[in-house]
Amino acid sequence: VGLELLFPEFLLAAAALLLPGTYLLHRNAQLCGRLAVATLAVALSATWVQWFGEGIVTPASFFGHLQIDVFSQLFKFAFLAIALVAGIVSLAYLGELPHRPEFFTLLLTATLGMLIVASASDLLTLFIGLELAAFSSYALVAFQKREDGSTEAGAKYLLIGSFSSALTLYGISLLYGLTGTLSIASLAAHDWDAGFSGALFVAILFITGGLGFKVAAVPFHAWAPDVYQGAPTPVTAFLAAGSKAMGFVALLRIFVVALGSALIEWQLLLAIIAIVTMTVGNLAALRQQDIGRMLAYSSVAQAGYILAAFPAMTELALGGAIFHTLVHAVMKGGAFVIVAAVGIAGLGYGVDGYRGLAQRSQLLALTMTVCLLSLVGIPPFGGFFSKFWLFYGIFQAGMAGQQWLLWLVIAGVLNSALSLFYYLRVIRNIYTEDPQGEALPFGGHTRYPALAALLLLILLIPLQYDYILTLCRDAAASLL
């Protein structure tokens, strides 16, 4: 096994460095955007070939800082696919903005950070990947600096993100002080019964607070509605799908692998956060009139469902959590692609802007409907299968001895039913209301490839859910 497994990372790093120079030579913003999208497509193809063509039989370690295994390849593929769709949509969304090359450079570096997080085998490398993605994301959120909403969202994201990074770093430093190592494998082998439980719990609190920001878990979620509403819509899709999944990758690496043997220290803490997160997210989403803010609070609730699997600590529950993380990324990213298309067409970003959408564009209406119903967990869509196996895994763990875990399943099912109300409000507007204003076109050749890829993914998930679940369970098994 050689360095060719790191080809996607090297390719993105090289492209991010060369893209500004390309613009200086050619002064062609469109060319730079297309080169960035082509780079992401090549990196995605390379990951596919490495994973499915050659296979990862045994984990490959690089320099003691990166590890390529089933788990890392699964999420590398997901991050690159998310970035590719965001890049394609951005080509149409940004038009000929003068700073467009910088946008795509930032998109590449943010994706590179996510790839590093997926493969990190020590906490320092994990933190560096998180920060590389975070700093690029801060700039992407504030990219439309002439719009007050974008600038304000970027400032809030930077301030709260910097605070969360400090919390994470302090928690990591406490773990290092307790054990003398940053290696995830060494932390997993550490005897946590030998004392220091008070200091360990403090470290867990700081890391939970820092990474809770990344996944928008309550009470660390306040940034999400403002940022999702104010950021350029392709960036919002990238954050809602990619950045949230990156946060869960970091949580899985730290809590399930590094601190799995210290389960008793954090099990109840994450269970409480999970229930509060899914409930607060859904209740807040009910009151929103802006589609971006509604989807932001929906993402908060989805974080609660995924966090509920952590206390169970079984292969099926964690496999279901990974499955739901990927399904959420596809569906939430897809929903924001539709939001971008509707916004570009001049219909605004309010829920009322979707009145009569089915009469304007059946394709957009159908895609949005499927994405929303999947987020609820309605059969036969992908979200039903991912939620079913997530909750069933927790249920099995509860019946095996820890019966209090059943409350997580009950809370998850009730909250899923609650979420149906605000999703149906949008769907009702799409199909039963008359369109307002002029019949505006939804043209744009660069947007339809992204929509076609999205529809393909949406159709593949329910058709191939057993295969995808097997991949996710294999990824979970590699962590345990």
Per-residue pLDDT of 37-57, as tens digits, reads 899 999 999 888 887 766 555
Indicate the average pLDDT of the chain: 84
Distance CA 296, CA 350 (A): 13
Per-residue pLDDT of 12-32, as tens digits, reads 999 889 888 877 777 766 777
User: What mean pLDDT is predicted for residues 293-320?
Assistant: 91
Give the pLDDT of residue 445: 44
SS3 assignment, position 80? helix
Between strands 66-68 and 60-62, the pairing is antiparallel
SS3 assignment, position 290? strand
Using the predicted structure, report yes or no on whether residue 220 has a pLDDT greater than 80: yes
User: What mean pLDDT is predicted for residues 202-225?
Assistant: 88
Q: Which residues of 357-373 are buried (b: 16+ CB within 10 A; e: fewer)?
A: bbebbeebbbbbbbbbb
Distance CA 55, CA 76 (A): 14
User: What mean pLDDT is predicted for residues 143-164?
Assistant: 82
User: What mean pLDDT is predicted for residues 90-119?
Assistant: 82
Cα distance between the two ends of the chain: 23
Per-residue pLDDT of 311-359, as tens digits, reads 988 899 999 999 999 998 888 888 888 887 787 777 777 888 788 888 8
Name, in order, each residue with C-beta under 8 angstroms of 269's C-beta and a sequence gap of 6 or more. 204, 205, 208
Domain boundaries along the sequence of the chain: 3-479
Distance CA 69, CA 30 (A): 36
Distance CA 326, CA 318 (A): 12
Give the pLDDT of residue 275: 93
Distance CA 396, CA 49 (A): 35
Select the more confidently predicted residue: 356 or 193: 356
Which band of pLDDT confidence, cut at 50, 70 and 90, is reported for residue 277? Answer: very high
What phi and psi, each to the nearest 5 degrees, are found at residue 290? -90, 130
Lowest mean per-residue pLDDT among 98-107, 174-183, 298-307, 392-401: 98-107
Distance CA 312, CA 66 (A): 27
Using the predicted structure, report yes or no on whether residue 456 has a pLDDT greater than 80: no
Give the pLDDT of residue 304: 92
SS (H, E, C) the chain: CCHHHHHHHHHHHHHHHHHHHHHHHHCCHHHHHHHHHHHHHHHHHHHHHHHHHHCCCCCEEECCCEEECHHHHHHHHHHHHHHHHHHHHHHHHHCCCCCHHHHHHHHHHHHHHHHHHHHECEHHHHHHHHHHHHHHHHHHHCCCCCCHHHHHHHHHHHHHHHHHHHHHHHHHHHHHHHHCCCEHHHHHCCCHHHCCHHHHHHHHHHHHHHHHHHHCCCCCCCHHHHHHHHCCHHHHHHHHHHHHHHHHHHHHHHHHHHCHHHHHHHHHHHHHHHHHHHHHHHHHHCCCCEHHHHHHHHHHHHHHHHHCCCCCCCHHHHHHHHHHHHHHHHHHHHHHHHHHHHHHCCCCCEHHHHCCHHHHCHHHHHHHHHHHHHHHCCCCCHHHHHHHHHHHHHHHHHHCCCHHHHHHHHHHHHHHHHHHHHHHHHHHHHHHCCCCCCCCCCCCCCHHHHHHHHHHHHHHHHHCHHHHHHHHHHHHHHHC
Question: How much is the pTM?
Answer: 0.89
Give the percent of the chain with pLDDT over 70: 91
Using the predicted structure, report yes or no on whether residue 467 has a pLDDT greater than 50: yes
Distance CA 429, CA 341 (A): 17
Select the more confidently predicted residue: 322 or 465: 322
The residue assigned the tokens 């509605």 is 225
User: What mean pLDDT is predicted for residues 434-455?
Assistant: 59
Determine the residue type at 286: L
Using the predicted structure, report yes or no on whether residue 266 has a pLDDT greater than 60: yes
Select the more confidently predicted residue: 438 or 260: 260
Name the CA radius of gyration of the chain, rounded: 21
Give the pLDDT of residue 353: 79
Which band of pLDDT confidence, cut at 50, 70 and 90, is reported for residue 409? Answer: very high
Q: Which residues of 312-338 are buried (b: 16+ CB within 10 A; e: fewer)?
A: bbbbbbbbbbbbbbbbbbbbbbbbbbb
Asked whether the bond before 219 is cis by omega within 30 degrees of 0, the reply is yes
Per-residue pLDDT of 229-250, as tens digits, reads 888 878 888 888 888 899 999 9
Lowest mean per-residue pLDDT among 263-277, 289-303, 342-356: 342-356
Per-residue pLDDT of 360-387, as tens digits, reads 777 788 888 888 998 898 888 888 998 9
Which band of pLDDT confidence, cut at 50, 70 and 90, is reported for residue 392? Answer: very high
Which band of pLDDT confidence, cut at 50, 70 and 90, is reported for residue 446? Answer: very low
Select the more confidently predicted residue: 43 or 458: 43
Select the more confidently predicted residue: 419 or 1: 419
Give the percent of the chain with pLDDT over 90: 26
Which band of pLDDT confidence, cut at 50, 70 and 90, is reported for residue 435? Answer: confident
Is there a contact between 210 and 167 (Cβ–Cβ < 8 Å)?
yes
Give the pLDDT of residue 449: 60
User: What mean pLDDT is predicted for residues 425-452?
Assistant: 67
Give the pLDDT of residue 336: 82
Give the pLDDT of residue 2: 66
Which band of pLDDT confidence, cut at 50, 70 and 90, is reported for residue 437? Answer: low
Distance CA 401, CA 46 (A): 44
Give the pLDDT of residue 342: 80
User: What mean pLDDT is predicted for residues 167-188?
Assistant: 89
Which band of pLDDT confidence, cut at 50, 70 and 90, is reported for residue 283? Answer: very high
Give the pLDDT of residue 441: 53
